[in-house]
Amino acid sequence: MEDLMMPEGEKVSMENFALLRVLGKGAYGKVFLVRKVGGKDHNTIYAMKVLRKTRVMTKPKTLEHTMAERQVLERLRGVPFLVNLYYAFQTDTKLHIVMEYVRGGELFTHLCSRGHFDLEAAQFVIAELVVAIDSLHQRKVIYRDLKLENILLDEEGHVKLTDFGLSKLFSPGELDRANSYCGTIEYMSPEVINRPEGGYSDVVDWWSLGVISFELLTGCSPFTVDGGQNSSKDIAKRILTKKVPFPKTMDADARDFIGLLLEKKLEKRLGYGGVDEIKTHKFMANIDWAAAEKRTLKPVIVPRIGHDLDTQFFSAEFTSQPPLYSPAESPLNATTLFRGYSYVSPSVIFANDNVIGEELMAEDVNALLASSSFFAKYKLDKSENGLLGKGAFSVVRRCERVADGAQFAVKIVSQRFASQAQREARILEMVQGHPNIVQLHDVHSDPLHFYLIMELLTGNELLERIRKLERFTECEAADIMRQLVSSVKYLHDKRIVHRDLKPENILFESTDSNARLRLVDFGFARLLPNPMEQQLKSVQVLRKMTPCFTLQYAAPEVLDVGDSQPEYNEQCDLWSLGVVLFTMLSGQVPFHARSRQESATEIMQRICRAEFSFEGDAWTNVSSDAKNLITGLLTVDPKKRLSMQELTAHMWLKSSAAMDTPLQTPSILPSSADETFNETLRAFLHANRDGFHLLDVAAAPLMKRRGIKRQSGDKDSTGNTKNSRITQFECLPEEQEMEMTSSTSRPSNLGMMNYREPNSGTIRETRGSDSS
């Protein structure tokens, strides 16, 4: 095995990555969702592509493209709008590429769910694609596989290009021409199909942009026919001979823009004379190109993402499979063929200085220290012990005020999420003064980060604290509950909903037995409208569109992910309080996963049916008043659920002083609560949300045009289903591929989503030529 050495003797191998889920599978390997174990980036979530060497080596072109992808990713490291490479390493049998995990999914999925985009949404996507493609061309790279499936959306709604297995990387001094017949047929330009004697240039990518633009505005592919013959040969013939079938209703400027991009004569194609031809076209007149290059254009489509491990945009066919790292044979001459494959990103190497992510590289540290108001006032603890927490959009570290040595916790948020951080700061300022809500002391900002300086809480999270107790009684649980209810009531009195009440967000000020708790993490909190606004705007003002919940602590109305938008207000926090209380008293999480294979849909159904019970030994000594309170809080109908007024007046909170009977919670929590919670959370996040899409994906015009239909397998001569089938992930001989009825059939509607094999398009080798 080849392990890549990092600074201070740290090694990178499979031991450093915990497999969480399968994101996709192809002919050459799998793509996993992984968590980093150890090192400066401990607990960071990545996507890992794992390829079997024996399969990669079956054909020279496949091997060439596999190695090229690794080289291209390294050259493009840190370029905006492109998926970033963090590690590449190998064992005797496999290759591993570790990339950033882009959770928003493919543009293909978002387009199919909507049917088509309006002009504003299409122009935004096209503008960012122009910047992304131009970034490639400036670095001497032809993409050659621009298609909807390779365009991802990040959590903000910005574009990210992925899958560079077909890209051509030119060496210094090399003529910028390519010759291979490769890509996905619907997006191939005439010169790629014809392969002229002198080869082709990067202008082929602008043709693909024209196809993308047509698809965004119409929901259809310009060179496939619904119900007609759509073999590769048929599509290629239309590309070479047919005019683009523009709808009569298409915007005139859009039609002209697309028509020029899809100009068959190379010299007349938009972009042939440089990228400025595209930027200055009247269809793109409203685009601020300086803002586009800085990723400061406001996204039109923002994916609804709830958690670090959210994979709702991935196919359940893959995410439901166990993440197994299967054994493989070792090829004979792999050492020579794959020499130089390993890689470690600079932003990981310098993670001691780079406290938040790739925005801050080592060479930027001195400049930041000199100009940042935060670093002028505080000293950041960059040691391993100084890391207090890490979330999807931020990290929390210990810091020290230079003036007096006072210790604080600082939440550091990337400026990409400055608006969210500012909202959290405003809400924290509104709730200062309550003894059970974390105290905000200071706020700072610099060009890279937003800093929330809060009191340092040295106690444990709720469940961890209970787990360490030798004795825990119902009376003590009631005391914790009273503090929680008091803090939540304080929020609601100020028209604020927390929206993420769970044990992880309940910390204690110290490890003392009489320490008070603090409610923390207001990143998902929202300010509700006042009663007058409610009367004016009715229920619409209460609709919070962003799912942000942790499964077991999510109210039924928050789980409504159908076409009707979820409605919730203060009542959702009350539901979460009920689940927290259930867990404290029993050491179990209600609605938990009964098996590892259980789908999240089943868990959600149990939540919406309020299927929980007080059976089992853990409930034997729990009072009837406590059970009555839980039942009232976990009532499905928000209108019938206990109100805050009823909760504060409940008998159990008033008269629990005499309930000194020990609970079983401390002994049960280590073996039960955490694991069931994590399994249920992962199941929910990876579930296929039926009804979530605005338009059924299978019925979308683009799906129909491209002949993408779920098939269980091919039939042999006896009528039995064969296990093997040809998918787009396989490298097919040219004559065999020509016979396929559709060149784009995929193993599922959503395919591998963000991460695909190096040859995700159909690769057809140029006969008698090894050039690429």
Instruction: Give catalytic residues, as residue numbers.
Output: 145, 500
CA distance 129 to 206: 10
CA distance 599 to 67: 38
Among 308, 302, 309, which Cα is nearest to 323's? 309
Which residues lie closer than 8 Å to 8 by C-beta, 6 or more apart? none
DSSP strand E in 402-448: where?
Answer: 407-414, 440-445
Task: List phi, psi (to 5°) of 89.
Answer: -150, 170
CA distance 317 to 90: 27
Cβ atoms within 10 Å, residue 589? 27
DSSP strand E in 385-478: where?
Answer: 387-390, 394-401, 407-414, 440-445, 449-455
CA distance 193 to 186: 11
Among 752, 742, 753, 747, which Cα is nearest to 712's? 747
Among 430, 422, 508, which Cα is nearest to 464's? 508
CA distance 318 to 24: 6
CA distances (Å), origin 629, targets 100, 204, 598, 611, 654: 44, 66, 29, 16, 12
Which residue(s) pair with 90 in the sheet? 2, 95
With helix as H, strand as E and coil as C, how does 712-746 read?
A: CCCECCCCCECCCCCCCCCCCCHHHHCCCCCCCCC
CA distance 114 to 301: 11
Cβ pair 527, 495 in contact under 8 A: yes
Q: What's the token pair of residue 119?
A: 């002009």
Task: List phi, psi (to 5°) of 714.
Answer: -90, 155
CA distance 244 to 263: 9
**Kind and range of the H or E run holding 136:** helix 119-138
Question: Strand, coil or helix: what is 33?
Answer: strand
Cβ pair 568, 558 in contact under 8 A: yes
Question: Strand, coil or helix: what is 5?
Answer: strand
Going by the annotation, the residues of the binding site for ATP are: 23-31, 49, 388-396, 411
Which residues lie closer than 8 Å to 755 by C-beta, 6 or more apart? 23, 24, 31, 47, 49, 99, 162, 163
**Kind and range of the H or E run holding 71:** helix 60-75
Cβ atoms within 10 Å, residue 513? 7
CA R_g for the chain: 28
